[in-house]
Amino acid sequence: MTQRALTGIKVADFSHVVAGPLATHFLALNGAEVLKIEPARGDNLRNYTLDPAQRGMAPAFAGINAGKGSVVLDLKTEEGRAEAEAIIAASDVVVENFRPGVMARLGLGAEAMRAKYPHLVWCAISGFGQVGPLADVAAMDQIIQSLSGLMLLSGLPGDPAQRIGFPLVDTFTGLLAAFAIQTALLQRERGLAEGQEIDVAMLDAALVMMLSVVNPMLMTGEAPVRTGNRGFSRAPTSDTFACAEGTEITIGAVEDGHVAKTLGILGLSDLLADPRFADRAARAANADAMAAEIARALSARPAADWEAEFRRLGVPAARVQGVGDALAMPHLEDRDLFLTLPGAHGPQRILNAGFRFRHGGPGTDRPAPRLGAGPVTTD
């Protein structure tokens, strides 16, 4: 039977809240044995809920800590530090997201530990990195969204800054850290390095995540323009429109063939004979005028009806729907996207890793650990 890719890899997880635990969550889903080292109060995310019944195992915590073990250590005591070092010595990977220098002051920093245990892949996750003028500055997701420029990419010119409605930077930072860790493990396995120190910064990760606008700006010096729901192409046929019955649809027609099909579906083919809309440059220059014609046509029918028409002719389009509607889509039933795990109040359904292997793919059958539940037990 094919085992998961990281079976046999041991991870000491000193991280908390989102970015670090999400990184180790992906390692656990790929077979690693992850042990959370927590203070007596536990990871703060355990209590990220307004429901008293969920305290200690808040959904936000349970969803990204499934399959891990948990031990409680007081790193301010000599005994706690000695136990922590024993865990580190027996691990392949250490992940921590304290402020830079905290682990070193405890005598458990990367330099000291890797000198003793050079096989370690050590990943430190922080807001601004382990070096640099901002290294000691406190950070969280929305702070990095603000500082990185991310909040001035959505909306239209002149609109107030807009935060993305979930911890996007934390999420991408965790994924980037997991990728870096697995890369370092492969490097070690191939004999290219004995171990590794990885420095992952949320600000760096945010800018990499925005590479579709950052790279062009680096090359041309031109700042990105906020285009609202209209795509980067600025094509009036690539936008979100109101439809009948209070519904909305997003269309992604950019290529000339898709534009012609879109206008045909809407009964607007004659617009292509208008010099204002005859080619891509003209349509971009007169985008609002063309968008008004499209909006009028779309208002006649509900979004689901239009979606079927666009799909039939191969034009990218989708109705706007909520997260609940997205999760209920029959398409997802056979995608291995969800895991059902045992929970204190009945089965818990959480997301899997988001990719599939034919053999030995990601997943776990163990829920998130109770505080201090001990290491993962192998069958």
Q: Tell me if 126 sits within 8 A of 99, measured CB to CB.
A: yes
Q: Catalytic site residues? A: 170
> What secondary structure letter does DSSP report for 225?
-
Tokens of 270: 């004659």
3-state secondary structure of 374: strand
How many Å apart are CA 126 and CA 110, to the nearest integer? 14
- Residue 101's alpha-carbon distances to 21, 109, 125, 198, in angstroms, are 20, 7, 12, 15
Burial of 361 per CB tally in 10 Å (0-12, 13-18, 19+): middle
Whole-angstrom distance, CA of residue 109 vs CA of residue 333: 44
Residue 255 corresponds to which tokens in the numbers above? Answer: 């290529």
Contact present, 25 and 174 (Cβ < 8 Å): yes
Residue of 185, 202, 173 lying closest to 64 (CA atoms):
173
Full strand arrangement of the beta sheet holding 33-38: 69-72, 33-38, 10-13, 93-96, 121-126, 196-201
The answer to whether 304 touches 321, Cβ cutoff 8 Å, is no
Tokens at residue 128, please? 């601004």
